[in-house]
């Protein structure tokens, strides 16, 4: 792990996003609450938050962090589901990996919840949108 003991504790926040492309039939099944395993959006939201809280168990050399907040929001669109996750903390290290992990696990959960209808779904565009705090400064995707 990187030694962060000399860094100051600062407020840090990261936002990540991703997309699960799916058929129109799958989108309609979600919209009409006809998916076999229940509500995929709610299951994916909870899975993403849980994943953010356990990122250090999934990604080697990540610092274990006690997040102040983790949130996952989804938007059902005509061609799939847009995912946005945020994580925040006051700490010596950032929360980019927590936000990215939340998006990835939320996307995988959507796939799992809907695979009986659509095995051709595509998980894509997982990326950091922004981050604030820390010595490296702020970042916002252009």
> Residue 15, SS3?
strand
Q: Which pLDDT value is given to residue 135? A: 84
pLDDT at 136: 86
**Higher per-residue pLDDT: 6 or 14:** 14
Cα dist. 58→30, 50, 62, 82, 92 in Å? 29, 12, 8, 23, 20
Is the residue at 139 inside a domain? no
Which pLDDT value is given to residue 137?
87
Query: Rounded mean pLDDT of 63-82?
Result: 98
- Tokens encoding 126: 């997982």
- DSSP E strands: which ranges in the chain? 10-21, 69-77, 80-91, 122-132, 139-140
Domains in the chain, number: 1
Domain with 64, as residue range(s), is 10-133
State the pLDDT confidence band at 119, using cuts at 50, 70 and 90: very high
The residues carrying an active-site annotation are 112
CA 117, chain centre distance (Å): 23
- Placement of tokens 């799992």 in the chain: 112
* Burial 8-38, CB ≥16 within 10 A → b, else e: eeeebbbbbbbbbbbeeebbebbeeeebeee
Q: Considering the domain boundaries, does residue 2 fall inside one?
A: no
CA 79/CA 58 separation, integer angstroms: 30
The enclosing H or E element of 27 equals helix 24-31
Arithmetic mean of pLDDT, 17-37? 97
Q: Alpha-carbon torsion 125, 126, 132, 136, what sign?
A: negative
pLDDT band at 73 (very low <50, low <70, confident <90, very high): very high
Residue 42: enclosing H or E segment and its boundaries?
Answer: helix 40-53
- For all residues of the chain together, what is the average pLDDT? 96
Is 3 inside a domain boundary?
A: no
CATH code for the domain in which residue 129 is found: 3.30.70.640
pTM of the model: 0.96
Instruction: Report whether pLDDT(1) > 90.
Output: no
Query: Does 5 or 124 have the greater pLDDT score?
Result: 124
Q: Identify whether 140 is part of a domain.
A: no
In a domain, 4, yes or no: no
Indicate whether 129 pLDDT > 90: yes
């Amino acid at each position: 792990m990187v030694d962060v003991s000399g860094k100051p504790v600062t407020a840090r926040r990261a936002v990540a996003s991703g997309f699960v492309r799916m058929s129109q039939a799958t989108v309609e099944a979600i919209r009409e609450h006809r998916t076999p395993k229940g509500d995929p959006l709610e299951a994916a939201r909870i899975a993403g938050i849980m994943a953010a809280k356990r990122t250090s168990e999934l990604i080697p050399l990540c610092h274990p962090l006690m997040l102040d907040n983790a949130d996952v929001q989804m938007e059902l669109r005509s061609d799939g589901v847009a995912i946005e996750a945020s994580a925040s903390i006051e700490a010596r290290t950032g929360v980019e990996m927590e936000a990215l992990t939340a998006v990835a696990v939320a996307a995988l959960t959507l796939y799992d919840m809907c695979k009986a209808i659509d095995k051709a779904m595509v998980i894509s565009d997982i990326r950091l949108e922004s981050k604030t705090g820390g010595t490296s400064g702020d970042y916002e995707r252009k």
